[in-house]
Structure 1
Amino acid sequence: MPTETSNSSSSVELVPVKFSRLTRRGILLGLSLTQLITLGIGGLSLVGALYAGGGILLAYTAPIWVLAAALTWIPVAGRPVVEWLPVCFWWVWRTTGGQLLYRRRITTPRPEGTLALPGDMARLREYTDPETGAGMIHDPTANTLTVVTEVSHPAFVLLDPAEQQRRVTAWGRVLATVCRSGRVATLQVLERTLPDSGTGLAEWWAKHGTDDGSWAAETYAELIDRAGPAGERHATTISLSLDMKAAARQIRTAGGGIRGAAGVLRQEMNTLTTALRTADLTPSGWLTPGEIAVILRSAYDPAIAPVLQRHGELGQSLATAGPVAVNETWSRLRTDSAHHAVLWVSEWPRSMVHPGFLSPVLLSTGIQRSFSLLCTPMRSDQAARDIRKKKVEHISDQAQRAKIGQIEDAAHTAEFDDVLQQEADLTAGHGVLRYTGLLSITASTVEELDANIAAIEQAAIQASCETRQLVGQQAAAFTAAALPLCRRI
């Protein structure tokens, strides 16, 4: 009998992933060090009053132990009151010291090689690599050297599931490459929306259009001229920061100083470029100091961004790329031509999600924002010690809770399972990275900024993420979220 064979192609499905929970563990029974200190002060006053005779002494010491209990356990915005004290103290200190306002001194020349940036970023120095022409930013305090490259890629959400899964796996190899080095301090992925200057449409019309002087040609050219600046475009950069302390031996071998550090960083740049191309990402080359200056100027002064894009010779100096004025408030930041607010991704999805889960946030239209993902690689030995410490803390806390009769809840069990999974991944040879997600939202008015914040928070909910607006540190958060300088907060 004739046999009939049929070839069935197996469809490749995306593999869902789950993020580890944000650890909210303390030193003892979930209490942090500050909570234990505050609780200890209240407990000592209460016990001392009891041993001294009780009665009226309990009433005299009541303000102390009642206040200690309130500071320890009463939450404000998800954090105990006692943990807000350092934040408020530092804010008052900066307010009295005049550190919330920045005005550029126009007539005072700046030292050569410095960046005209506010706050602690004034210590940053620029260095141009003589071999690649890349602009390198040196932070003498953090002892890091940073370079930036712009990356182009196809729309991930438009790819078929098999291609998406392949690209996710390839990106995992890129991160694993960064972890194996041991000399990389931070890897930053910055995805930002910018007002489109219309140069792309204008170039297309100049190349493909027929400008014959007819009514249709003039109308079409006028439409392109008006519609271009009203649109928006997406730009993605990847910043690589070298830990000069961890690479001290290699830097000395390469000649020492900034020149030796640049030589070591070039090795990391070549490795990262190869890994990005393997992942089907197209780096456009490492940015020059002038190109970095345009990004910095556009972040502080978004209204000038279309002009800088149309006229490539403008804004090409890091010495003048900073803002003219900055006003920082408790929950916002005001720069030259815009208001800003920074949100922290405080909780990544707790359930299984597919790659591309951030599309509601990244593809939101009509909102000018920057999404920054800061990846801090951990050395294998350091990650192993950290995991062992977490395991010991979980087991000891579990025994302590069982001793006092406290019930084990699902949150502690889920955190312990995450620790065990991280240990298994580390044993299997995978790298360990700490992720920090920041969203910088920009608008021309305060009312528009509040509306954009509400829209982004709703989009984050659709992406199964939880966001919180940072307070008391908006200036530092903005530099980490909107600037490709691998800054931390």
Structure 2
Amino acid sequence: MATKHSTEDTSAQAGSGAELVPVKFSRLTRRGVLLGLSASQLVTLGIGVLTLVGAFYAGGGILIAATAPVWVLSVVLTWMPVAGRPVVEWIPAAGWWLWRSTGGQLAYRRRIVAPRPAGTLALPGDQARLREHVDPETGAGMIHDPHQHTLTVVCEVRHPAFVLLDPAEQHRRVTAWGRVLATVCRSGRIATLQVLERTLPDSGTGLAEWWAAHGTRDGSWAATTYQELIERAGPAGERHATTLSLSLDMQAAARQIRTAGGGLRGAAAVLRQEMSTLTAALRSADLTPAGWLTPGQVAVILRSAYDPAVAATLERHGELGQSLATAGPVAVTETWTRLHTDSAYHAVLWISEWPRSMVYPGFLAPIVLSSGIGRALSLIYTPMRTDQATRDIRKKKV
């Protein structure tokens, strides 16, 4: 198996193979029905062509001028790009937005006193369909999406700062990460693998844990003052957290799920096999899995994403915010360009094209290491069969 997220190596590796070499990304894949045009583009182009040809045969110049708004608009909708996409491909999103606007679906307010069905997540919009499942063997919190037929589990990963490593070590780790992806894709039962890197306010728990392990509580004025300072210390900086989300394709693994007992229990048993495989692959790549997140830990991540102002408090007091039933936002207001949830504004930036020049693996460091703002960088890997990946690479090289 291979992954859909791929690059082309355009330089020869010199020496003993330990040097970090630049790579060049392929162009963004734009598959179309005919001549690289999507179905929506073909429809608008067809309307314009039929209008122009009909006017030409019916009356010539006068009708061509009269129908000019139709076929000119068709050409504009078909080929004019807006934010990396043709205008016609924005019509479904804009139409859905207008429909939700007229229906009053852009604002969400949680009913605090209303009870929720067991196993559901208090999330707005389409995410309200998600269901919670606790694995009885590992204690991991699994999220079931009945519409997409997936079962997802999250693992926290610890790793050294990549940009501080020497080039040879960076090259070794890049190669090892490629082996991790190949291992995950091998079974053919994985829907997606997400890498999520987030910046979080530092709650000071690390300092408190260090003082608890190494501090001297002798009752002196210095020890008492230092203890009080640590207890009152709020977020003084930022820290980075990395998680991997592994999603099982329940349709692709239907036979194995039935063999394991069927239902969510059978799916959880199959997903546990993939979890063990991923854990072993991460350790072989010198990445440290910190464990599969429990429902309480997933709830803290969700609550911190919707309300960053309480993230440090939730981390310092581990008993708070541990319920998925109350982890969702209290209020959400959606606009065309941003999303307002509780104490934060969110905006999503879509990468329409990767760099076309030669870049090194750490080229995203200026974005990942930026400070002063809460940020989440998400990479989603979609497994592909080897023959599909080979054909895709061959087309991109032509």
- Which residue of structure 1 lines up, in the alignment, with residue 197 of structure 2? 191
1:250-282 Cα shifts (integer Å, max 9, x gaps): 011111111111111111011111101111111
1:167-188 Cα shifts (integer Å, max 9, x gaps): 1111111100111110000101
- Which residue of structure 2 lines up, in the alignment, with residue 289 of structure 1? 295
1:84-123 maps to which residues of 2 (within 5 A)? 84-123=90-129
Deviation at 1:353, TM superposition (A): 1.9
- Which residue of structure 1 lines up, in the alignment, with residue 250 of structure 2? 244
| Count of equivalent residues | 384
- For the residue of structure 2 that corresponds to 1:343, the secondary structure is coil
Alignment equivalent of 1:367, drawn from 369, 373, 378: 373
Which residue type is aligned with residue 326 of structure 1?
V
Greater share of helix residues, 1 or 2?
1
- Which residue of structure 2 lines up, in the alignment, with residue 233 of structure 1? 239
1:177-234 Cα shifts (integer Å, max 9, x gaps): 1111100001011111111111111222343344566666566556656665121111
1:343-379 Cα shifts (integer Å, max 9, x gaps): 1222222222222221111111222111111111112
Which residue type is aligned with residue 311 of structure 1?
H
Would you say the 8 A contact 2:135–2:142 is kept in 1?
yes
Deviation at 1:340, TM superposition (A): 0.9
Distance 2:87 2:26 in 1: 26
Distance 2:332 2:72 in 1: 41
Distance 2:185 2:66 in 1: 57
Return closer, same or farther for 1:24/1:387 CA change in 2, 3 Å cut-off: closer
- For the residue of structure 2 that corresponds to 1:308, the secondary structure is helix
Distance 1:370 1:70 in 2: 35
- Which residue of structure 1 lines up, in the alignment, with residue 22 of structure 2? 16
Distance 2:304 2:51 in 1: 56
1:438-453 maps to which residues of 2 (within 5 A)? none
- Which residue of structure 2 lines up, in the alignment, with residue 63 of structure 1? 69
Would you say the 8 A contact 2:18–2:172 is kept in 1?
no
Which residue type is aligned with residue 105 of structure 1?
R
Return closer, same or farther for 1:247/1:334 CA change in 2, 3 Å cut-off: same
Q: Is residue 79 of structure 1 aligned with residue 124 of structure 2?
A: no
Deviation at 1:67, TM superposition (A): 2.2
1:193-208 maps to which residues of 2 (within 5 A)? 193-208=199-214
Would you say the 8 A contact 2:307–2:342 is kept in 1?
yes
Distance 1:66 1:347 in 2: 28
Would you say the 8 A contact 1:150–1:237 is kept in 2?
yes
Deviation at 1:382, TM superposition (A): 4.3
Q: Is residue 305 of structure 1 aligned with residue 326 of structure 2?
A: no
Would you say the 8 A contact 1:171–1:279 is kept in 2?
yes
Q: Is residue 352 of structure 1 aligned with residue 352 of structure 2?
A: no
- For the residue of structure 1 that corresponds to 2:350, the secondary structure is strand
- Which residue of structure 1 lines up, in the alignment, with residue 9 of structure 2? none
- Compare relative contact order (CA 8 Å, sep 6+) and give the higher one, 1 or 2: 2
1:52-84 Cα shifts (integer Å, max 9, x gaps): 232432233222222222323333334332222
Distance 1:11 1:186 in 2: 31
- Which residue of structure 2 lines up, in the alignment, with residue 264 of structure 1? 270
Would you say the 8 A contact 2:122–2:324 is kept in 1?
yes
Return closer, same or farther for 1:359/1:255 CA change in 2, 3 Å cut-off: same
Q: Is residue 155 of structure 1 aligned with residue 165 of structure 2?
A: no
1:115-147 Cα shifts (integer Å, max 9, x gaps): 111111111111111111111111111011111
- Which residue of structure 1 lines up, in the alignment, with residue 7 of structure 2? none
- Which residue of structure 2 lines up, in the alignment, with residue 387 of structure 1? 392
- Which residue of structure 2 lines up, in the alignment, with residue 130 of structure 1? 136
Would you say the 8 A contact 1:186–1:374 is kept in 2?
yes
Alignment equivalent of 2:338, drawn from 315, 322, 332: 332
- Which residue of structure 2 lines up, in the alignment, with residue 275 of structure 1? 281
Q: Is residue 146 of structure 1 aligned with residue 161 of structure 2?
A: no
Return closer, same or farther for 1:223/1:360 CA change in 2, 3 Å cut-off: farther
Would you say the 8 A contact 1:42–1:69 is kept in 2?
yes
Which residue type is aligned with residue 144 of structure 2?
H
Deviation at 1:29, TM superposition (A): 4.2
Moved more, 202-211 or 288-297: 202-211
- For the residue of structure 1 that corresponds to 2:67, the secondary structure is helix
Deviation at 1:381, TM superposition (A): 4.5
TM-score normalised over the length of structure 1 = 0.74
Would you say the 8 A contact 1:201–1:228 is kept in 2?
no
Would you say the 8 A contact 2:84–2:352 is kept in 1?
no
Which residue type is aligned with residue 380 of structure 1?
T
Distance 1:80 1:171 in 2: 35
Would you say the 8 A contact 1:146–1:239 is kept in 2?
yes
Identity of aligned residues (%): 79
Return closer, same or farther for 1:29/1:300 CA change in 2, 3 Å cut-off: same
Q: CA RMSD in A?
A: 2.3
Distance 1:218 1:60 in 2: 87
Deviation at 1:39, TM superposition (A): 2.0
- For the residue of structure 2 that corresponds to 1:364, the secondary structure is coil
Deviation at 1:10, TM superposition (A): 7.3
Would you say the 8 A contact 1:199–1:228 is kept in 2?
no
Moved more, 135-144 or 354-363: 354-363
Distance 2:178 2:16 in 1: 24
TM-score normalised over the length of structure 2 = 0.90
Q: Is residue 316 of structure 1 aligned with residue 348 of structure 2?
A: no
